[in-house]
Chain A
Amino acid sequence: MSQTTSEPVRLGGEPPRSVAGRRWRRWRLPVLIGALLLTAALLAALIQPQVSREPLAVDNPGSTGVRALAQVLGDQGVVVHEVQTTADAVALAQPGTTLAIVGSLLLTDADLDQLARTGADLVVIDGDSYALDVLTDGQVAETWAPSAQLRSANCDDPDATAAELVSDLVYSVTLTGGSGQLCFTATNDPQTGGYAVVEAGGRTVRVLADSTILTNGSVTEQGNAALGLRMLGHHDHLIWFRPSLLGTGTSEGSATGFANLPPWAGPFAALLGLVVLVAAVWRGRALGRVVSEPLPVTVRAAETTRGRGRLYRRARSRGHAAAALRAAVARRTAVRLGLPASADAPTMIEAVASATGRPTHDVAGLLYGPPPSDDAELLVLTRALDQLESEVHRT
Chain B
Amino acid sequence: MAVSWRAVVLAALGAIPVLLVPQYAVVLGWALVVLLVVLVDLSLAASPRDVVVRRTVPASVRLTQPTSSSLVVTNTGARRLRGVVRDAWQPSAGATSNRHRVSLPAGESARLVTPLLPTRRGDRAADRVTVRSFGPMGMAARQLSADVPGRLRVLPEFASRRHLPSRLARLREMDGRAAVQVRGQGTEFDSLREYVIGDDVRSIDWRATARRSEVVVRTWRPERDRRVLIVLDTSRTAAARIGELPRVDAAIEAALLLAALASHAGDRVDLIAHDRRVRAQVARAAGPRLLPALADALAPVDPTLVEMDWPATISAIDQRLSQRSLVVLLTALEPAAVSHGLLPVVAPLAHDHTVVLASVADPEVAELATSRGSAAEVYDAAAAERTELERAAVTLRLRRYGVEVVDALPDDLAPRLADTYLALKAAGRL
Which residues of A does B touch, CB under 8 Å? 1-13, 262-264, 266-268, 270-271, 274-275, 277-279, 281-282, 285, 287-289, 291-294, 296-306, 308-313, 320-322, 324-325, 327-328, 331, 341, 375-376, 378-379, 382-383, 386
Is B18 within 8 A of A267, CB to CB? yes
B73 to chain A, nearest CB (A): 9
Q: Are A296 and B239 in contact (CB under 8 A)?
A: yes
Knowing that A264-B19, A292-B90, A300-B242 touch, tell me 20 more A-B residue pairs with CB under 8 angstroms.
A1-B60, A5-B56, A11-B51, A11-B129, A12-B47, A268-B15, A270-B27, A274-B27, A275-B11, A282-B8, A289-B88, A291-B88, A301-B247, A303-B240, A309-B368, A311-B383, A324-B385, A325-B378, A325-B381, A375-B375
- When C-beta atoms are compared, the residue in chain B nearest to A302 turns out to be B364
**B76 nearest in chain A by CB position:** A10
Query: Contact between A274 and B31 (Cβ–Cβ < 8 Å)?
Result: yes
Nearest CB in chain A to that of B85: its residue: A287
Most-contacted residue by chain B among A277, A288, A305 (CB, 10 A) = A288
9 examples of A-B residue contacts, CB within 8 angstroms: A1-B60, A2-B60, A9-B129, A13-B49, A267-B24, A282-B7, A288-B145, A289-B145, A292-B90
A10: chain B residues at CB < 8 Å are 49-52, 76, 146
Chain A residues with CB under 8 Å of B381's CB are: 309, 325, 382
- Residue on A nearest B89 in the bound complex, by CB: A291
Closest CB in chain A relative to B65 CB, distance in Å: 10
Q: Which of B22, B27, B55, B380 contacts A306 (CB 8 A)?
A: B380
A288 touches B86 (CB 8 A): yes
Expressed in whole angstroms, the minimum distance between the Cβ of B270 and any Cβ of chain A is 24
On whether the beta carbons of A4 and B372 are closer than 8 Å, the reply is no
Point out residues on B near A: beta carbons under 8 Å: 1-5, 7-8, 10-12, 14-15, 18-19, 22-24, 26-27, 30-31, 34, 47-61, 74, 76, 84, 86, 88-92, 99, 127-132, 143-151, 239-242, 246-247, 302-303, 305, 332, 362, 364-365, 368-369, 372, 374-376, 378-389, 392, 396
CB pair A287–B92 under 8 Å, yes or no, is no
Give the chain A neighbours of B90 by CB distance below 8 A. 291-294
A282: chain B residues within 8 A (beta carbon): 2-5, 7-8
With known contacts A291-B127, A305-B383, A321-B379, A266–B24 Cβ distance under 8 A: yes
Q: Which of B15, B84, B149 contacts A271 (CB 8 A)?
A: B15
Please, how many angstroms separate the alpha-carbon atoms of A263 and B4 in the complex? 32
Most B CB within 10 A of own CB, among A10, A262, A287, A321: A287
Known contacts: A8-B54, A285-B143. The answer to whether A296 contacts B18 by CB under 8 A is: no
Q: Is the CB of A382 within 8 A of B239?
A: no
Given known pairs A285-B2, A296-B302, the reply for A324 and B52 (CB within 8 Å) is no
In the bound complex, residues from chain A placing their C-beta under 8 Å from that of B368 are 302, 305-306, 309
Question: Which of A12, A271, A321 lies in contact with B382, CB distance below 8 A?
Answer: A321
**B19 cross-chain contacts in A, Cβ below 8 A:** 264, 268
Q: What separation, in Å, do the CA atoms of A347 and B24 have in the docked complex?
A: 101
CA of A293 to CA of B92, assembled, Å: 7
> Among B58, B60, B74, B364, which residue has its beta carbon within 8 angstroms of that of A300?
B364
Check B145–A309 contact: CB distance below 8 A. Answer: no
Tell me the bound Cα distance from A260 to B57 in angstroms: 66
Which of B18, B22, B48 contacts A12 (CB under 8 A)? Answer: B48
